[in-house]
């Protein structure tokens, strides 16, 4: 535990200038957008919590399947500092303020060939753990929200935080389940096809694995298509199921 604490403090020390810069940006935005300060702060906290749980679950699943790479790196923790990527955090801040963008955490280091069930199925399970944890957390928070919402005198800010926690966890889960590299859904899809014992499935999996090198280009291509064409691809694939689950869990 002491070693892990030193690792985390060392990481903070190395990135201290960056975090101070982010804090200054946040403070400036608070003064510039006083009408939406509460919403920005609540959304940012919820987003950081959702990404922290997501990345921690990847690391925990890998450890349970026999790969301790992430555990040794101090990633099996709910400390946000262990999971936040500097540039990804800036993007989270921009996304929170503008409502458009893409934030992310530090990729969890995984050695697929150390995983139980093989590199493809094992990696699929590790990948699925992230979105699954977000859905589970959303369900638990929704239950708490509905229970305390029945009481009178509960501060509105508390209910707002809980609602954003539910919604953002569902959005992150649905987005990451898209079958596009480098998202989790792509690794899950490869794992499913690898279970099919046939030559065509093996060839298909090999071709799919070759697309990983173009992952970010494909992902940004999907995002650009959504924004430039007005087709609303991400709204259909991410927004619709996320809001559908949100209504179901919250009882709306």
**Per-residue model confidence as pLDDT tens digits over 107-134:** 899 999 999 999 999 999 999 999 999 9
pTM for this predicted structure: 0.81
pLDDT at position 15 is 55
Catalytic sites, residue numbers: 55
Number of domains in the chain: 1
Q: At what angle do helices 37-64 and 86-98 cross, to 10 degrees?
A: 140
Judged against a pLDDT cut of 70, whether residue 25 lies above it is answered with no
Residue of higher predicted confidence among 62 and 96: 62
CA distances to 95, 109, 142, 214, 243 from 248, rounded to whole Å, are: 25, 35, 10, 36, 8
Cβ within 8 Å of residue 189, ≥6 positions away: 179, 208
Rounded to the nearest 5°, which phi and psi values hold at 84? Answer: -80, 130
pLDDT at position 21 is 56
Question: pLDDT grade, residue 34 (50/70/90)?
Answer: very low
DSSP code for 180: S
Question: pLDDT grade, residue 94 (50/70/90)?
Answer: low
Question: pLDDT grade, residue 4 (50/70/90)?
Answer: very low
Domain residues for the domain of 14 are 2-250
DSSP code for 106: P
Instruction: Give the C-alpha separation, 74 to 228, whole Å.
Output: 40
**Per-residue model confidence as pLDDT tens digits over 176-212:** 999 988 889 999 999 999 999 889 888 988 888 888 8
Share of the chain above pLDDT 70, in %: 75
Share of the chain above pLDDT 90, in %: 40
182 cis-preceded (ω within 30 degrees of 0)? yes
């Amino acid at each position: 535990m002491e070693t892990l604490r030193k690792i985390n403090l060392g990481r903070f020390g190395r990135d201290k200038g960056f975090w101070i810069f982010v804090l200054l940006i946040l403070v400036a935005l608070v003064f510039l957008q006083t009408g939406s300060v509460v919403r920005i702060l609540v959304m940012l906290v919820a987003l950081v919590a959702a990404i922290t749980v997501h990345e921690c679950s990847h690391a925990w699943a890998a450890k349970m399947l026999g790969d301790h790479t992430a555990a040794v790196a101090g990633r099996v923790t709910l400390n946000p500092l262990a999971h936040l990527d500097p540039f990804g955090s800036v993007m989270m801040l921009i996304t929170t303020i503008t409502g458009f963008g893409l934030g992310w955490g530090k990729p969890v280091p995984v050695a697929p060939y150390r995983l139980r069930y093989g590199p493809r199925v094992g990696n699929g399970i590790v990948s699925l753990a992230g979105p699954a944890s977000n859905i589970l957390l959303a369900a638990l928070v929704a239950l708490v929200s509905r229970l305390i919402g029945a009481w009178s005198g509960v501060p509105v800010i508390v209910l707002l935080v809980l609602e954003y926690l539910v919604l953002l966890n569902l959005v992150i889960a649905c987005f990451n389940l898209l079958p596009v590299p480098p998202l989790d859904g792509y690794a899950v899809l490869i794992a499913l096809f690898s279970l099919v014992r046939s030559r065509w499935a093996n060839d298909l999996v090999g071709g799919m694995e070759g697309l990983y090198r173009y992952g970010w280009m494909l992902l940004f291509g999907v995002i650009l298509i959504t924004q430039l064409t007005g087709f609303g691809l991400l709204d259909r694939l991410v927004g619709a199921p996320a809001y559908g689950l949100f209504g179901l869990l919250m009882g709306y």
